[in-house]
Amino acid sequence: MYTRDLNGCEVNKDISIEELETIARKMRAYCITAIALAKSGHTGGVMSIIDIATALYFKFLRHDPRNPEWEDRDRVFWSAGHKAPALYAALGLSGYFDINGIVNLRKYGSGFEGHPNRFKLPGIEASSGSLGQGLGIAVGSALNAKKTKKNYRIFCIMGDGELQEGSIWEAAMSASHYKLDNLTAIIDRNRLQIDGCVSDVMEIEPLKEKWEAFGWNVIECNGHNIKEILEAFGLACSFKNEPSVVIANTIKGKGISFTENICSYHGMPPKDGISGKESLETALNEINCKYFTNELLCSLLKSAAEYQDSIDNKIKSLEPKFSKNYFWNQQSEMKVEMSPNRAGFGKGLEEAGKDPDVVVLGADITESIKMSSFYEKYPERKQRFYSMGIAEQNMTAVAAGFAKEGRIPFIGSYGVFVTGRNWDQIRTTICYNNYNVKIVDAHGGISVGPDGATHQALEDISNLYYLPQMKIIVPVDSIEARKATLAIKNTYGPATIRIAREATPIVTKDDTCFEFGKANIIRYRETSKRFVDAFEIFLSDGYINENEDITIIACGPILAEAMRAAYILKEEYDIETRIINLHTIKPLDESAIIKAMKETNLIVTCEEHQKGGFGNIIAGTSAKNRKANEPFALKMIGVNDRFGESGQPWDLMKIFGLTAEFIANESKKLIEENQSVLHMIKG
């Protein structure tokens, strides 16, 4: 089946169209199985790109699975990184690694992350997932090939909704300018994105004419006809003096009836799981891959279960041990309800929408971050909702224009995209002008889970804190998120609310004291049927020192872990803990921090963020207000200078050492390390 080119590279030239179609069915079967077992993933785009990936990796590319770093290989950059399972299936079936490992998709440590990580699997040219960046990488690679007189070709796979990112068109302009005829862009034109039809979210047509205007050779084809796809690739590679773009017309969710052209299947696994109407079982029957037998499926299911067992055992070995299991809802008492604090944000935005000056600008994930609550119950508010598409920089500047005219715009997206990609616009256009724009920094921290590092915001507090005029609030739970949303709406100037994606413990009540800019002091009293009733909460300026042994300061959902750590410390070691809910990071309640430093002498900071983004704010405030003769020690708990990984949210919290068990353990160590000095001073 394999022939060799002049360089001795193993390439598949003799394979027939029928054989390629069989491979495509295999890829679909493996991908839908992996997505179903992961219980998350982007079914729609994965299925729409598979025929293209099949033609590319099994017929057209020059590449060698036995030598992934072969210098003269063709390069493929998956800018649309959310289609990762299709990439994994193509590489696995090509021979880069054992394809059966794909059933551990989105599981911690498997390498099959929610978005491609080039350090985890061979054959991946670049880690990706932040849309709009792949074409620029491809341009750089193509320029290098020209400069070094190499004859390898470069391909870049993009989605059509992705073309809403302005960076795509900057890269397109440069490719044309440098006449990069060794570069082929491939557009998976399935016409759907998260929020709906591409034409409704943000129109990109006329697509052919736009690319031609940018100086590209445009070829259109049926993205599910492998013969047409191969012909399109051949035409692209024979064209001279211009880069080529293949616009492949596809069907989102292709090959599985219940996913085809269904917008919700952009980021959803089979609804029914393994069996049912919309299930893995139904999907595999429709794909009709004879290779994918029941015996193979059972073997894959067993392998995935065994892998998860190994991860569970690893996590258990890492966790500090106590006299009993203190984890959430594992006891007959101290019960909590769970709710995503994004849901509380949605309720707050719904209330804020009563003000006719409030406008909302979406960036293609409005339902996911609950911005849709603004108009779902009140359709007339749709007139104040503006879809900006996948274009965070423009969304930010447009919001500034609204604010300039006296409106109160809310903008939102994943935290990494709405505080990072558009940082310059936030700094110069919003903060420098002191415009009244509200930023919804959604899905903050590692608890976004299986999507992996590209979607886990771990630097956003640092990105924003040092911007003049900016205000930042990070609510602990859904109840506080509603209050926080209304607080920033009613506070003039640039403001950000950081909210998490996954369900986390509700540890406050509707009548819990809350004031923007003022911390809460929380004290554990005694066990109770409900966790929230075991604590007493005060505004910081009304709290009287109780001579606690240590202070734990946190913000956001990790504060609930700090509260549980205080519970553990008291029950296990009779250690009294002052907990500070520093929900408003800016403006900072410095007096609450200073009092804690002087009265307890020991502080532990906790953050679901790169260590120091929050902790150094506390450390700096403490250091500048500490006198030379005052004893003080501080320890920071957070992510240790690394990117996140794919995995289940609670697994990641434990693996990264961010749950109460780790906080309690580190707090006890800090007390023991300073016990003799503090005992002598306190008498």
Which stretch of 67-76, 151-160, 238-247, 668-677 has the lowest confidence by average pLDDT?
A: 668-677
Rounded mean pLDDT, 336-363: 97
Q: How far apart are CA 124 and CA 584, in angstroms?
A: 41
Question: pLDDT digit string (tens) for 10-66?
Answer: 445 689 999 999 999 999 999 999 999 999 999 999 999 999 999 999 999 999 999
Regarding pTM above 0.85, the answer is yes
Q: Residue 369: CB partners within 8 Å, gap ≥ 6?
A: 342, 345, 412, 413, 414, 440, 442, 443, 499
Report the DSSP pairing between strands 584-586 and 10-11: unpaired
**pLDDT confidence band for 682 (50 / 70 / 90):** low
* Per-chain mean pLDDT for the chain: 96
Structure tokens at 462: 């640092």
Q: What is the mean pLDDT of residues 637-655?
A: 97
Range list of H helices, 384-477 = 392-404, 415-416, 423-424, 460-465
15's torsion region: left (phi>0), alpha (psi -120 to 50) or beta?
Answer: beta
Query: Each residue of 610-622: pLDDT tens digit?
Result: 999 999 999 999 9
Domains and CATH numbers, the chain: 3-287 (3.40.50.970), 338-505 (3.40.50.970), 520-682 (3.40.50.920)
The CA distance from 271 to 283, in Å, is 11
Concatenated DSSP letters of 225-248: -HHHHHHHHHHHHH--SS-EEEEE
Query: What sign does the CA torsion over 531, 535, 541, 545 have?
Result: negative
**Sorting pLDDT into bands at 50, 70 and 90, what band is 678?**
low
**What confidence category does residue 7 fall into, taking pLDDT thresholds of 50, 70 and 90?**
very low
407 has a pLDDT exceeding 90: yes
Strand residue runs (E) in 62-201: 75-78, 154-159, 183-189, 192-193, 196-197
Q: 327-341, 394-408, 618-632: which range is least confident on average? A: 618-632
